[in-house]
Amino acid sequence: MSKADSERRRDAFLGLIGVKPVVMGILNVTPDSFSDGGRFQSLDHGLAQARQLVADGADIIDVGAESTRPGHTPVPLDEEWRRLEPLLAPLLAEIDAPFSIDTYKAEIALRAVALGVGVVNDVWGLQKDPAMADVVAQSGAAVVIMHNRDGVDPGLDIEADLHRFFARSLALADRAGVPRARILIDPGIGFGKNKAQNLKALASTARLRAAFGLPILIGVSRKRLFGDLLGAGVDARLIGTLAANLATFARGASVFRVHDAAEHVAAFKVFDAIERA
What DSSP string describes 90-123? Answer: HHHHH--S-EEEE-S-HHHHHHHHHHT--EEEET
Give the integer Cα–Cα distance in Å for 39 and 26. Answer: 12
Residue 145's SS3 state is strand
Q: At 63, give phi and psi (nearest 5°).
A: -105, 125
148 CB-contact burial (10 Å; exposed 0-12 / middle 13-18 / buried 19+): buried
b/e per residue, 12-32, with b = 16+ CB within 10 A?
ebbebbeeebbbbbbbbbbee
What DSSP string describes 182-242? Answer: GEEEE--TTSS--HHHHHHHHHTHHHHHHHH-S-BEE--TT-HHHHHHH---GGG-HHHHH
Please identify which of the residues 82, 257, 269, 276 carries the catalytic annotation.
257
Q: How large is the angle between the packed helices 77-94 and 43-55, nearest 10 degrees?
A: 50
> Catalytic site residue 175?
no
> Catalytic site residue 193?
no
252 CB-contact burial (10 Å; exposed 0-12 / middle 13-18 / buried 19+): middle
Please identify which of the residues 9, 111, 223, 237 carries the catalytic annotation.
223
- Report the catalytic residues: 223, 257
